[in-house]
């Protein structure tokens, strides 16, 4: 449904997007993760036909964003990271305005407006002026606006940015509802855990490049195959860390100082027992061994140092 081929965007000497290849299947919620300035917004702006790529191609629903921009716009609902509202319109009038702008007939507008306000939990705010809504309510209204012409693709640029925890939960439930409706959603954030619970696939972009991409369950499976172990010592942590780098089953030494070493370990439980025994027999003053729960964010940070993992691999 969304596809890019070697997509690039340069601003003078700055390469905002570099050889980006995305393939988002229909009905998928795809999380686009990266730090501010990584290239997320530029990519989304290109897909929304608002920015011309320097080179490469991008398609939405089979339509190319530069050659057939009108066809792309009919298929998408785009919510930028910052969007304006009309202070002198009520919530109902605001949605009616956008429905009319898209050529939706009045009976359909009225039915769809009621349905969407219920979906984003703003039915009781239909007669309130848009500028009186909280930021969380305005963001939910923004999603409803994107759906007034019933597009198949939603492009949401950091919709949870600046929201309080309750509003973030509300936004997450709305995105899950979009998946149930069969919509294809491209949603961005600079906070990975924010997306992990509602996305089918997640891609990380850094310095304009897609550095990791995988189905969420694939990442979880990789996480299940490794354990993060912390060794607490009285002294000798640096030497133990050096020894661990040559130990079978130790896939990475994450942190170390004189009194603590954390490793990523892929061996069996029996191997782990033998590893701890070996540390003790080698004379290291070991106080405790702890298993540390590695977050999905930690795992993805490590994945960015590896070759790109194809979706569904």
43 and 174 in a common domain: yes
Six-digit token pair at 159? 């919709």
Q: 3-class SS at 301?
A: helix
Q: How do residues 197-240 score in pLDDT, each as one tens digit? A: 788 998 888 888 888 777 776 655 555 567 778 999 999 999 99
CATH of the domain at 264: 3.30.70
pLDDT at 297 over 70: no
270 and 166 in a common domain: no
Instruction: Look at residue 179 and tell me if it is in a domain.
Output: yes
68 in Cβ contact with 61 (< 8 Å)? no
pLDDT at 2 over 90: yes
Instruction: Look at residue 215 and tell me if it is in a domain.
Output: yes
pLDDT at 313 over 50: no
Domain residue limits at 202: 2-221
116 in Cβ contact with 98 (< 8 Å)? no
pLDDT at 254 over 60: yes
- pLDDT score at 310: 47
- pLDDT score at 266: 84
106 and 50 in a common domain: yes
> What is the C-alpha separation between 43 and 58, in angstroms, rounded?
9
- pLDDT score at 24: 94
Domain termination residue (choose one: 195, 221, 247): 221
250 and 191 in a common domain: no
- pLDDT score at 300: 56
141 and 116 in a common domain: yes
Domain termination residue (choose one: 221, 252, 274): 221
pLDDT at 134 over 70: yes
pLDDT at 304 over 90: no
Around Cβ 238, how many Cβ atoms within 10 Å? Answer: 12
pLDDT at 296 over 60: no
Q: 3-class SS at 244?
A: helix
Higher-pLDDT residue of 182, 298 = 182
In the chain, what's the furthest Cα-to-Cα distance? 80
Higher-pLDDT residue of 212, 146 = 146
- pLDDT score at 306: 45
126 in Cβ contact with 84 (< 8 Å)? no
Around Cβ 142, how many Cβ atoms within 10 Å? Answer: 19
231 and 127 in a common domain: no
58 and 164 in a common domain: yes
pLDDT at 309 over 90: no
Instruction: Look at residue 53 and tell me if it is in a domain.
Output: yes
pLDDT at 100 over 50: yes
- pLDDT score at 151: 96
Specify the number of domains making up the chain: 2
Q: How do residues 45-95 score in pLDDT, each as one tens digit? A: 999 999 999 999 999 999 999 999 999 999 999 999 877 777 789 999 999
193 and 238 in a common domain: no
> What is the C-alpha separation between 167 and 96, in angstroms, rounded?
24
Kindly report the backbone phi and psi dihedral angles of residue 117, in degrees, each rounded to the nearest multiple of 5, phi listed first. Answer: -65, -35
Domain termination residue (choose one: 204, 221, 238): 221
212 and 262 in a common domain: no
CATH of the domain at 188: 3.40.50.300
Q: What pTM was computed for the model?
A: 0.73
- pLDDT score at 57: 95
Instruction: Look at residue 305 and tell me if it is in a domain.
Output: no
234 and 140 in a common domain: no
289: burial class by Cβ within 10 Å (0-12, 13-18, 19+)? Answer: middle
38 in Cβ contact with 208 (< 8 Å)? yes
129: burial class by Cβ within 10 Å (0-12, 13-18, 19+)? Answer: middle
Instruction: Look at residue 169 and tell me if it is in a domain.
Output: yes
Instruction: Look at residue 313 and tell me if it is in a domain.
Output: no
165 and 113 in a common domain: yes
* Nearest CA-CA partner of 105 in 153, 150, 146, 48: 150
255 and 161 in a common domain: no
Can you tell me the mean pLDDT for 139-145?
93
pLDDT at 259 over 60: yes
Can you tell me the mean pLDDT for 107-127?
95
């Amino acid at each position: 449904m969304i596809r890019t081929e070697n997509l690039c965007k340069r601003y003078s000497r700055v390469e905002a997007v570099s050889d980006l290849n995305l393939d988002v299947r229909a009905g998928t919620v795809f999380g686009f993760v990266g730090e501010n300035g990584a290239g997320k917004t530029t990519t989304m702006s290109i897909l929304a036909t608002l920015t011309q790529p320097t080179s490469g191609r991008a398609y939405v629903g089979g339509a190319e964003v530069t050659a057939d921009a009108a066809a792309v716009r009919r298929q998408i609902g785009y919510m930028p990271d910052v969007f304006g509202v009309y202070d002198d319109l009520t919530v109902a009038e605001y949605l009616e305005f956008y429905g009319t702008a898209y050529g939706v007939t009045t009976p359909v507008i009225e039915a769809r407006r009621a349905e969407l306000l219920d979906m984003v939990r703003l039915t009781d705010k239909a007669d309130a002026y848009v500028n009186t809504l909280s930021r969380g309510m305005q963001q939910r209204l923004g999603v409803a606006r994107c759906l007034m012409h019933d597009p198949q693709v939603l492009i949401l640029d950091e919709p949870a940015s600046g929201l309080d925890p309750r509003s973030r939960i509300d936004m997450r439930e709305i995105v899950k509802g979009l998946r149930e409706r069969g919509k294809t959603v491209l949603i961005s954030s600079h906070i990975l855990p924010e997306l992990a619970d509602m996305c089918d696939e997640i891609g990380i972009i850094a310095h304009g490049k897609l550095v990791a991409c995988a189905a969420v369950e694939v990442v979880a499976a990789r996480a299940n195959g490794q354990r993060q172990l912390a060794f607490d010592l009285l002294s000798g942590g640096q030497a133990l860390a050096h020894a661990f780098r040559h130990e079978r089953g130790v896939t990475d030494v994450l942190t170390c100082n004189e009194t603590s070493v954390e490793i990523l370990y892929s061996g069996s439980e029996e191997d782990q027992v033998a590893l701890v025994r070996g540390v003790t027999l080698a004379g290291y003053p070991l106080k405790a061994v702890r298993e540390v729960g590695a977050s999905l964010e930690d795992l993805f940070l490590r994945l960015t140092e590896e070759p790109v993992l194809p979706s569904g691999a």
